[in-house]
Structure 1
Amino acid sequence: MVGPVSQSSLRQSPASLRERLGGAIHASRTAVTGKDSRRGFIVSAAAGVFLALFGTFGTYAVPFGVRLAYWVGLCLAGAVVGTVVSRLIGREGRADARPWLYGSMTVIGVTLPFTAVVWLVSELAFQRGLRPQALPMYLAPVFIVTTAMTALNFLVQRRPTETHAAPVGAPAPRFIDRLPPKLRGGELYAVEAEDHYLRLHTSRGQDLILMRLSDAVAELEGIEGAQTHRSWWVAKAAVQDARRGDGRATLQLKGDIEAPVSRAYAKALREAGWF
């Protein structure tokens, strides 16, 4: 990448790459929807302009037009790579059930091609030639920063896992067969995780079953609902009201049940019309 002050110092400071990949990797965003993708490209381009204006990481020694093209180009290239990789890995909802696996695959999928991009651009722009032997030194910095950025963007952009209403005449969701006898025939309002158990909130009362929430949500497909919190799934038909206080939202459900809404999911649920 770019070194401080002069072209000669650019050639003599490869170790400083570790400090300069943050902006370039900024664009390794885990965008999934078209709206998120557009937002990612806009933010990435803006980050490139910001880095160029302030001559970040010693690039003030480079003419403004060159560093503008360098930073914006790298940020947008990272956005392209990140968007393609995240869509390939996360399509058809496969990312929802295994977020850590999804994140790891995204990091690897972005790091490998983007390392080549950073190497190619930096070598041509500042070394006036390609040094194949220099390629490995870009790998570790790109991997480290990509891991950090993927984790950050995953937390910021994470969307709640949703379930969808089944067509008329479709079989009942598999999860319904797991309801204890005393709850069967009732309306399912919510599922709440309690340690290794799930508390089932229904129109016929409550009970516990031994199961993981992620497995339960997969079997709840067929009922319109969503995770509102890492330990809650809520049926949309059960929501009667929503309250906000202390920066948090709470859903009031049938049966006088209150379900928390995590800040990570609040925006997506609000946009989907939950409150």
Structure 2
Amino acid sequence: MNGGKLQSALRELQEFAASRNFWIVLAAIVVLFTVIGPFGTGEHMGVLPRFGFWLVNLFVSTWIAILIVVFAELYLDRLIAAPFPRMFAGSLLACPVIGLTTMFIVYSWRGPEPSWPTYLENTAQAFPISIVFTLIFWASMRHERQIRLATESSALDASPTVTAKVKAAGSAPAQDQAPATEPPPMLARLKPENRAPILRLSAEDHYTLTVTSRGRELILIRFSDALSEIGDTVGTQIHRSHWIARAAFEALVTRDGKLMARLKDGTELPVSRSFAGEVKAKVANWSVD
């Protein structure tokens, strides 16, 4: 199992566990199922046993679905390019596992003996539940993440430290400086402690190394997709595998006949021949300390 993908999966699961929206939605569904008593639970169980049954059943089933969906989204990237179809595929894969789990939970509540017909029936019932619930939870998580990112970015923009860094980076000409209207979408993929102005991106297999003024993080995303998520961050691509921000750039240098971009932290990245002309023209307009 790839260590980077495993870390990404665990990070996603931690976000679910720490999400207030997740627990609110789960609690609301448990209460709803307790009140309406679907699948015969209203006729065969009292209110308290029914509440306990749906609390256990929905908690276990939901986490099984989320666990499988998260790993499917990460590990099916070579077969399915778009995230939403991968999530849908994960929901389908979760149904047989949820059906088996439900069968034994029902049996533990003194239900019928486990059997193939019971398993198939539970799996069929899990099909719409797994898909709908996964979509609801995912939507609530994405909404919560966007709100958190916007809040943190506003605080970051107001920070005296960040303001000083922006001033120290120099002022770009008007035609090269786009007003930041909203945080770059790429920031939402980073850990909260790393969310800050993006300094550079580098492709590493199926991952993109993202370096900000707060730190660095390896993200499971194609380099081309990462470039589309940098928003209004001013910079330029210098190589098929490297992009740098104006705020990070220091100078162009030559090493053994090869053009390199030296950054303010001392890092030197190659400038490919196909990008050399564009890069030279671009950086000529940048104010460099």
What TM-score do the two structures reach when normalised by structure 1? 0.44
Q: Relative contact order (C-alpha < 8 Å, sep 6+): which is higher?
A: 1
